């Protein structure tokens, strides 16, 4: 049986990671340790995670013409991700994320770099790949207009879209009608709040936020709640799944990305939403038990 196909349209970042015992406050300098430089970016993480879980993955994105670009591309090819949709932008650096890890939590600052040059032409150039896809995954670390255009094209071709609305979207997401064409959305608490005005601090509030997203047109909603698990469903029927217990949380970087990827892979393989969410929760629990973004992403055999 041929593997299912996923097209990821999104960001590529060079992650610069440093661990600290205590996160600095404004104006404070602290000493860190275990510095590392790792391929990352939400789109990149999701693509590699999908590939490691057994899907055939095609990536549409951009790197700069600096030393980091070839390293990022090698990270894809090492994981059997098709890189034919990646362009190199002259005179622009590859996207960069500076990540401070403290006590299992992370603080991230991002320079978009070449990610903000992912354009509609690249979507058009990838049309044949998109038409053959079982699902397209998008995030919001590339230009907003490119995301909207890609969703519109997917709707035209009848290809389901999964949107990870991160970083938290601005007001235009409410007004563009964007969500009506999204088949599944996977926000965390802060992204759900940005979209709905409801902060899901409790399970009950998460149900309300999920209902609001459903009313905005999204067919299926999964709100991730960290250690409180997730709320998911469609229409007016939503459920809560507690998180998989993890004794030692090492680094939450890419946990949401691995969850989104696992959800997509499971769904296109024909699993029910209940089964897909349970599978994604297991994948996320493995990710947080390891350091780094892509190094922490599990292979299918580990599950």
Active site residues: 257
The answer to whether residues 140 and 127 touch, using CB atoms and an 8 Å cutoff, is no
Long-range contacts of 236-243 (CB under 8 A, 24+ apart): 236/211, 238/207, 238/210, 238/211, 239/274, 240/203, 240/206, 240/207, 241/277, 241/278, 241/281, 243/281, 243/285
Between CA 68 and CA 95 the distance in angstroms is 9
CA distances (Å), 160 to each of 58, 69, 133, 135, 201, in order?
15, 30, 9, 5, 30
Question: E-strand spans in the chain?
Answer: 5-9, 13-20, 32-40, 56-64, 81-89, 95-102, 105-111, 135-138, 161-163, 184-185, 220-224, 230-234, 237-241
Residue whose token pair is 């926000």: 187
Between CA 269 and CA 263 the distance in angstroms is 10
Q: Is 55 in a helix, a strand, or coil?
A: coil
């Amino acid at each position: 049986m041929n593997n299912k196909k996923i097209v990821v349209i999104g960001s590529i970042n060079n992650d610069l990671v440093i661990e600290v015992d205590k996160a600095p406050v404004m104006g404070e300098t602290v000493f860190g340790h275990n510095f590392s430089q790792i391929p990352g970016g939400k789109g990149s993480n999701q693509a590699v995670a999908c590939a490691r879980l057994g899907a055939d993955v095609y990536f549409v994105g951009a790197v700069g013409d600096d030393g980091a670009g070839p390293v990022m591309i090698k990270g894809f090819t090492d994981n059997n991700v098709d890189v034919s949709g990646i362009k190199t932008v002259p005179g622009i650096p590859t996207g960069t994320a500076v990540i401070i890890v403290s006590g299992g939590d992370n603080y991230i600052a991002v320079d978009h770099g070449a990610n903000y040059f992912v354009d509609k032409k690249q979507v058009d150039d990838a049309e044949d790949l998109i038409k053959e896809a079982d699902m397209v995954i998008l995030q919001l670390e590339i230009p907003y207009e490119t995301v909207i255009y890609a969703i519109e094209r997917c709707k035209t071709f009848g290809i389901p879209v999964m949107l990870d609305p991160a970083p938290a979207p601005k007001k235009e997401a409410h007004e563009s009608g964007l969500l009506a064409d999204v088949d599944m959305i996977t926000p965390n608490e802060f992204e759900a709040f940005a979209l709905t005005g409801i902060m899901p601090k409790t399970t009950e509030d998460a149900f309300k936020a999920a209902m609001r997203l459903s009313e905005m047109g999204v067919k299926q909603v999964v709100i991730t709640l960290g250690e409180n698990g997730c709320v998911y469903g469609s229409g007016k029927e939503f459920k809560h799944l507690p998180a998989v217990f993890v004794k030692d949380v090492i680094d939450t970087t890419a946990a949401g990305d691995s969850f989104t990827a696992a959800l997509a892979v499971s769904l296109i393989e024909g699993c029910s939403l209940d089964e897909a969410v349970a599978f994604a929760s297991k994948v996320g629990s493995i990710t947080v038990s390891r350091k780094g973004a892509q190094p922490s992403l599990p292979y299918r055999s580990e599950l």
